[in-house]
Amino acid sequence: MKVITTESLERLRLAVTKKPTLIDIGFSDLTEDMRLKFVEFNAPIEINGNLIVPEGFKQEENKDTENCQIILLILKGLTPAQATDERLWVQLCFEHFPDYSRQRWPLSKAKTAENHVNDHWFAKTNRNRMRDNAVSRLWWMGQIAQKVPNYSMEQVLQILFFNSDYRSSLLERTSSANSLNVLASILKISKDAFDRGHEFDRDKFRIFMKKVDFLGKKTLMGSLEIDELSKLLQPLYNESYQIVKKMG
């Protein structure tokens, strides 16, 4: 698979930021008009398959859960390290999945067109890749979901997508956004709590995530396994939600 060169990517970013409607132009035309150049990607990926086009914007209509599983199959073998390469996601948005990207994140619904295209068609930062880019967010959510022990991918994806406040708090914190194991551990703790009848509370969860962030500044959490992290973070979750652990 070929991806856009870094120089061409920056040229494309600048052009699209100045004129967001360029996302509606076919990629072959953009390539010719802007004289974009390409190189081989550092992973043997062949794009076979397509994403499901959303039927609406509600969770039961946007097909996020289904597409997380589909993109993992399409990009089978892609590693988290390779997935930090912005060129891959730009190539997928513009060339391979433009119809999906346009319909999932329509320009007509953007508050600021320039920010909208930069968020959903490019992937400059770790947060952009996990939270915003039309295609990369699906892969990263799927990657996280399949790491959570004792739960199916479908169950974890339901947690990830059931509430935007939950997802934002989870992904906007440096300590969690930079480590798959930390994310998986928090998801496991959340799922266990929900199963015990402790419902999501935005303010309490934010308190918990602040505690996680503070602990992350003193502890190399990214080096710990999920079970170790769960034991470390569970008391913080209980404290934030004022959950009293029953003895015996």
3-state secondary structure 189-244: HHHHHHHCCCCCCHHHHHHHHHHHHHHHCCCCHHHCCHHHHHHHHHHHHHHHHCCC
The answer to whether the CB of 143 falls within 8 A of the CB of 80 is yes
Q: pLDDT at position 11, please?
A: 97
Q: What is the DSSP letter of 110?
A: -
Q: pLDDT at position 178, please?
A: 63
The answer to whether the CB of 47 falls within 8 A of the CB of 40 is no
Position 138 confidence tier, pLDDT thresholds 50, 70, 90 = very high
Average pLDDT over the chain, rounded to an integer = 90
Phi, psi angle pair for 131, to nearest 5°? -110, -35
Tokens coding 67: 């597409």
Is the pLDDT reported for residue 245 higher than 80?
A: no
DSSP states of 115-140 = HHHHHHH---SHHIIIIISTTHHHHH
Model's pTM, two decimal places? Answer: 0.84
3-state secondary structure (DSSP) of residue 3: strand
Of 16 and 126, the structure prediction assigns the larger pLDDT to 16
Each residue of 59-107: pLDDT tens digit?
A: 888 999 999 999 999 999 999 999 999 999 999 999 999 999 999 999 9
